[in-house]
Amino acid sequence: MNNQTPHVEPIRLVVVPDVLSMAARGADEIEVVLKDAAQPVLGLATGGTMEHLYPELIRRFQAGKISFRNATTFNLDEYYPIEATHPQSYRCFMGEKLFNYVDLTLTPVEGARWGQTFVPNVGGEHVGAVCLGYEQAIIKAGGIDVQILGIGKNGHIAFNEPGTSPWSRTRIVKLAENTREANARYFGSSADVPEFAVTMGISTILEADKIVLLASGEGKAAAIKRALTGPVSADCPASYLQLHPNVTFIVDRAAARDLALP
C-alpha cells in the first residue's frame, strides 16, 4: 500500500454464541495488553454488559494468569453530580465489580484518581478542571492501550449521546431521557438518575491504540447494525468508531441479529 494513502481498517466483527463467550473474548483482549505492556493503560467501562466481563478478569487474576500490578485504569464516565460513595456511582460499581478483587492500589489521591485507578468523579472540585485534568492524566500515563466500550440502544458510547461532535473531549453532558430511563433500574426511577454526567469525548476515545466494543442481546442489534454499517454520523455516535484503525466488536448472536452474515 502507498504509505501516503490514508487507510482505515474496517471494524473487525467477532460474533460469539453467547454472553459468556463475549466476556471471555473481551477478557482475552485485556489479558494481551496486561501481559505485553510494561505499564498497561486500560480504558474501562460500566453497565450491565461489563458485569459479565469483570468476573472473568477476576477469575483470571485469581488463577494467576493476569496481574494489574503495573496497570493504570481510566473509566469512561461518571454521573454528575454524585458522591463517589453513592452506591450507584461508577466509582462504587468499579470497586464492587473489579477493583476490590484484583491487585490495584486504591488509595484516594484526589477526586478522579484513587491509586492506580481514575474515574471522573467531580467531588468538590471545579468540573472544568476535572475534565481537563482527566485528559492530561491520560496523556501523562502514555495514552490508553485498549479502551473497552459498551453501546447504548441509541448508539451512544460512554455518555456521548446522539448529536455529539466527533471532536468532543472530556466534558459535562446532559443525559438523554432514554438513557436515564435505561438506567432507572439501578436508581429505582428515572427521576432519581442524575441529569448530567462527565464523560470522555469521541476524540478522547478515538485516541486509544485499540478499541474493543462488547454487546449482547437483541436490544443492541439495531445499534450494532448502525454502528457497523450505517453512515458515520452524530445520530449514532458509535459509528464514529469506523474512523479508527483498530476496532473490534465482540457481540453475541442476538446482538448480531440484524447483520447480513454468511
DSSP state of 173: E
Which are the contacts of 15, defined by CB distance < 8 A and separation ≥ 6? 251, 252, 253, 256, 259, 261
Cell of 159: 455518555
Whether 2 contacts 238, CB under 8 Å: no
The interface region with ligand PGA, picked from 8-16, 118-126, 147-155, 243-251 by CB under 6 A, is 147-155
Residue nearest to ligand PGA (CB): 47
The interface region with ligand PGA, picked from 120-128, 144-152, 204-212, 232-240 by CB under 6 A, is 144-152
Q: Binding pattern to ligand PGA, positions 101-120, x when CB under 6 A?
A: --------------------
The interface region with ligand PGA, picked from 41-49, 59-67, 89-97, 119-127 by CB under 6 A, is 41-49
Round to whole Å and give the CA distance between 154 and 192: 21
Q: Identify any residues that bridge with 44 across adjacent strands, giving them in sequence order.
A: 75
Q: State the nearest-atom distance from the C-beta of 233 to ligand PGA, in Å.
A: 18
Residue 156 is among the residues annotated as catalytic for this protein: yes
* Residue among 104 and 223 whose Cβ is closer to ligand PGA: 223
* Residue among 26 and 133 whose Cβ is closer to ligand PGA: 26
Three-class SS of residue 79?
Answer: strand
One-letter amino acid of 17: P
- Give yes or no for residue 26 binding ligand PGA (CB under 6 A): no
The region that residue 126 occupies, defined by phi over 0 for left and psi between -120 and 50 for alpha, beta otherwise, is: beta
Q: State the nearest-atom distance from the C-beta of 88 to ligand PGA, in Å.
A: 12
Catalytic residue among 75, 121, 154, 183: 154
- Give yes or no for residue 150 binding ligand PGA (CB under 6 A): yes
Q: State the nearest-atom distance from the C-beta of 63 to ligand PGA, in Å.
A: 25
Residue 209 is among the residues annotated as catalytic for this protein: no
Cell 447504548, located at residue:
152
- Give yes or no for residue 47 binding ligand PGA (CB under 6 A): yes
Residue 154 is among the residues annotated as catalytic for this protein: yes
Q: State the nearest-atom distance from the C-beta of 207 to ligand PGA, in Å.
A: 19
DSSP secondary structure letters along 202-250? HHHHHTSSEEEEEE-SGGGHHHHHHHHHS-SBTTBGGGGGGGSSSEEEE
Handedness of CA 235, 236, 241, 242 (dihedral sign): negative
Q: Choose among 32, 58, 188: nearest CA to 42.
A: 32
Residue 28 is among the residues annotated as catalytic for this protein: no
Position among 26, 152, 155, 237 found at the interface with ligand PGA (CB under 6 A): 152
Chain residues that interact with ligand PGA, rule: CB under 6 A = 47-49, 150-152
